[in-house]
């Protein structure tokens, strides 16, 4: 907690520098604007709202729950041509094809996921699993992620889904090759053996920990207690308890600085497509949460200089971050005020 040291990340086969003493330095960097508190519930100029017209002229239905549609500006398309051949070994290109979808978690722009009901969160989880199964029947890798923005007035929760081969995804390839999850024949996830000081929340089916090698200040890892390879393999009860622990974690995030906490999150699990017929037992389903805020609602962590050129670096220990999150109340600050 007082001296810098490096920690190894077996999931990515790299290291992170922990420099907890840097939290004592005075802050003279950039200050962010906190997110607005007066977000309208429905805005005709918001292209993701029910009944709104998107940039491509499509009109959204009057959806009342989760809403999934093809991304109007996708990073991947299914019919992209093959790149040309190169006669130089340093200038290599490969085909990149897939589909991209967007999911709005809720029709109300002013309602974030920690303030949604458990049944509404469960509907999001079911939609994730259905899309994973549907797209995974054809594509070897289905990447699910979500995010929220500090400044956006669009529906705060969106889900991005891209499908592409794991050969084009270095992080997925690294996880598949390092095989860090199996501990003996029981396939116990290594994070299930964490010290209590890195545990944030838990229930009968799930654990949330700040991993030993966490990079972002309040980064967490969400893990099932049971060995599960893919999101669509979750049992009915596990989906209910997942909705509960997601809500508890996100309430803690919001309560940390009493702000709608920004982060990116996403799921990693076993590859799909042709891999459905192979033994993928060394994979363990898990979700990452990467929040950028560091000291307050207006001070965030930036990856610059040393982090971009040498290695990732964090300004407080994972144990300190976990203790602070763990001790936060599980009633949302907005609901306490009411």
Secondary structure, 3-state, the chain: CCCCEEEEECCCCEEEEECHHHHHCCCCCCCCCCCCCCCCCCCCCCCCCCCCECCCCCECCCCCCCEEEECCCCCCCCCCCCCCCCCCCCCCCCCCCCCEEEEECCCCCCCCHHHCCHHHHHHHHHHHHHHHHHHHCCCCCEEEEEECCCCCCCCCCEEEEEECCHHHCHHHHHHHHHCCCCCHHHCCCHHHHCCHHHEEEECCCEEEECCCCCCCCCCEEEEECCCCCCHHHCCHHHHHHHHHHHHHHHHHHHHHHCCCCCCEEEEECCCCHHHHHCCCCCCCCEEEEECCEEEECCEECCCCCHHHHCCEEECCCHHHHHHHHHCCCCCCHHHHHC
In a domain, 86, yes or no: no
In a domain, 136, yes or no: yes
Judge contact between 314 and 215, C-beta under 8 A: yes
In a domain, 7, yes or no: no
Q: Count the domains in the chain.
A: 1
In a domain, 249, yes or no: yes
In a domain, 176, yes or no: no
Q: Is the pLDDT of residue 179 over 90?
A: no
- 301: domain CATH number is 3.30.428.10
pTM of the model: 0.88
Name the one residue in this structure whose structure tokens are 């051949």: 85
Q: Is the pLDDT of residue 202 over 70?
A: yes
How far is Cα 168 from Cα 186, in angstroms, rounded to an integer?
31
Question: Which carries the bigger pLDDT value, residue 28 or residue 294?
Answer: 294
Average confidence (pLDDT) over 96-107: 88
In a domain, 27, yes or no: no
Within 10 angstroms of residue 51's Cβ, the number of other Cβ atoms is: 12
Structural domain boundaries enclosing 317: 33-75+94-164+183-331
pLDDT in tens, 51-61: 999 989 999 99
Question: Which carries the bigger pLDDT value, residue 84 or residue 251?
Answer: 251
In a domain, 299, yes or no: yes
Question: Which carries the bigger pLDDT value, residue 189 or residue 103?
Answer: 103
pLDDT in tens, 239-279: 999 999 999 999 999 999 998 888 889 999 999 998 999 99
pLDDT in tens, 131-156: 999 999 988 899 988 877 544 444 44
Q: What percentage of the chain has pLDDT greater than the value 90?
A: 43
Give the pLDDT of residue 194.
Answer: 55
> Could you tell me the two tokens for 314?
């964090």
In a domain, 88, yes or no: no
């Amino acid at each position: 907690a007082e001296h810098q040291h490096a920690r190894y990340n077996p999931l990515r086969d790299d290291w992170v520098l922990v420099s907890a003493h840097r939290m004592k330095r005075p802050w003279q960097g950039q200050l962010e604007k906190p997110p607005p508190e007066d977000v309208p519930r429905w805005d005709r100029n918001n292209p993701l709202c029910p009944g709104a017209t998107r940039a491509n002229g499509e009109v959204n239905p009057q959806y009342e729950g989760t809403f999934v549609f093809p991304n109007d500006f996708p990073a991947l398309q299914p019919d992209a041509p093959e790149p040309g051949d190169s006669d130089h070994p340093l200038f290599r290109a490969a085909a990149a094809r897939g589909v991209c979808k967007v999911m709005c978690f809720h029709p109300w722009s002013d309602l974030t996921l920690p303030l949604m009901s458990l049944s509404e969160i469960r509907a999001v989880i079911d939609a994730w699993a259905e899309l994973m199964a549907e797209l995974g029947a054809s594509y070897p890798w289905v990447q699910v992620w979500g995010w929220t923005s500090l400044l956006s007035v669009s529906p705060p929760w969106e889900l991005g889904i891209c499908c592409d081969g794991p050969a084009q995804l270095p992080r997925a390839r690294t996880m598949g090759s390092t095989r860090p999850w199996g501990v003996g024949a029981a396939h116990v996830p290594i994070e299930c053996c964490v010290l209590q000081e890195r545990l944030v929340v838990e229930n009968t089916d799930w654990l949330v920990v700040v991993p030993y090698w966490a990079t972002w200040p309040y980064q967490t890892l969400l893990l099932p207690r049971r060995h599960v390879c893919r999101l669509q393999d979750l049992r009915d009860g596990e989906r209910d308890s997942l909705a509960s622990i997601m809500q508890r974690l996100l309430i803690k995030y919001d309560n940390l600085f009493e702000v709608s906490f920004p982060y990116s999150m996403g799921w990693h699990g076993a590859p799909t497509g042709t891999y459905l017929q192979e033994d993928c037992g060394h994979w363990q389903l898990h979700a990452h949460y990467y929040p950028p805020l560091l000291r307050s609602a207006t001070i965030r962590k930036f990856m610059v200089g040393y982090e971009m050129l040498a290695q990732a670096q964090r300004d407080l220990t994972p144990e300190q971050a976990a203790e602070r999150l763990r001790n936060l109340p599980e009633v949302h600050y907005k609901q306490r005020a009411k």
